[in-house]
Amino acid sequence: MKLIKSMGAKKALGVSLAVVAALGMTGTASAASGLHPRDLWDILATDPSPKPYVAPHVLADKADHPADQYCAMLAVKDAPDDDKDPLTVCGSDLNEASAKLKEIEPLAKTHLVSLYEDEKYGRANDQVYGDKGNCDKDGYRIKMTPWWQLNLSSVHGWNGCDKGRFTQRTATDHSRTMDLPAPGIGEFNDNTKYLRAHHG
């Protein structure tokens, strides 16, 4: 997938980022611009301004994760158990992504977990921050973005997050608690919808 990086190219496309986000990355936005949804996501993901990252359903396989994009997600401790994707922003490295997230949500101060595409903490790496401090026994319920639901293979916990309760994407009635850090996640490999990071 070729990323659209130059501001001139983005302006030439004439696509409003606000409209794209409002349309939820649907086929309507794609048809209006003549672009494939992945191209629209490229514009969002590579735009330097700190705005929420929209995790579209089209990010379905490993090849779709931009090699030069790193993301930071917000876990809200007292959030309702709804099915909303977490606030996520991306940058050219983890420091940039984290800084963007903290500009949008200053409470995103505590690094809870790092997510990895491969076992033993390899390849794509995104970070999750909490809004209310270190992990306690209740912890934080983290919904994986659509891409991570299909690609998560290992997890490292930080700041008291020494346990993780994983729930499968394909069988949401199946959950299991593991120690963190977890260099491998067994039956939840490439098949995790929720992770509750907590202190055991």
Token couple for 180: 């963190």
Per-residue CA distances from 53 to 17, 150, 157, 170, 189 (Å): 11, 18, 23, 25, 24
Token couple for 160: 């008291």
Per-residue pLDDT of the chain (200 residues; tens, 9 = 90+): 333 333 343 333 333 333 333 333 333 333 333 433 334 334 344 444 443 333 333 333 444 555 557 899 999 998 887 778 899 999 889 999 999 999 999 999 999 999 999 999 998 889 999 999 999 999 999 999 999 999 999 999 999 999 999 999 999 999 999 999 999 999 999 999 999 999 99
Question: Cis link prior to 181 (omega < 30° from 0)?
Answer: yes
Residue 66's pLDDT is 57
CATH top-level class of 62-198: mainly beta
Residues of the chain with CATH 2.60.20.10: 62-198
Q: What is the spatial distance between Cα 144 and Cα 123, in angstroms, rounded to a whole number?
A: 17
Sheet holding 122-130, edge to edge: 88-91, 70-75, 122-130, 110-118, 154-157
Decide: pTM greater than 0.75: no
Residue 69's pLDDT is 74
Residue 15's pLDDT is 34
Q: What is the spatial distance between Cα 165 and Cα 105, in angstroms, rounded to a whole number?
A: 26
Per-residue CA distances from 57 to 110, 121, 147, 170 (Å): 28, 25, 8, 16
